[in-house]
């Protein structure tokens, strides 16, 4: 995937998480409860574009943040 797209998606996920007043620890815990094996460190890397975000993770982000795919990908 294009690095600029990865950074944009990560930045969107960070903004969404912050707008929900969630810490990275809280978000990763919610993802884990939904069956997504992700650590706080992995989430931090996604948010800065250093780690690829997988399709199943995108689905889980949409669920725990209660947002649309458009908000994640804008």
- For the stretch 13-72, pLDDT in tens is 999 999 999 999 999 999 999 999 999 999 999 999 999 999 999 999 999 999 999 999
Q: Which CATH architecture has domain 3-73?
A: Orthogonal Bundle (1.10)
Largest CA distance in the chain: 30
Alpha carbons 57 and 61: distance in angstroms, whole number: 6
| Helix, strand or coil, per DSSP, at residue 6 | helix
The model's confidence at residue 1, banded by pLDDT at 50, 70 and 90, is: low
Domain residue spans of the chain: 3-73
Whether this prediction's pTM lies above 0.85 is answered by yes
């Amino acid at each position: 995937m294009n690095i600029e797209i990865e950074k944009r998606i990560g930045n969107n996920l960070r903004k969404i998480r912050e707008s929900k007043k969630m810490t990275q620890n809280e978000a990763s815990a919610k993802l884990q409860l939904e069956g997504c094996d992700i650590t706080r460190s992995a989430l931090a890397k996604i948010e800065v574009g250093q780690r690829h975000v997988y399709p199943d993770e995108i689905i889980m982000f949409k669920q725990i943040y209660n947002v649309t795919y458009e908000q994640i990908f804008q």
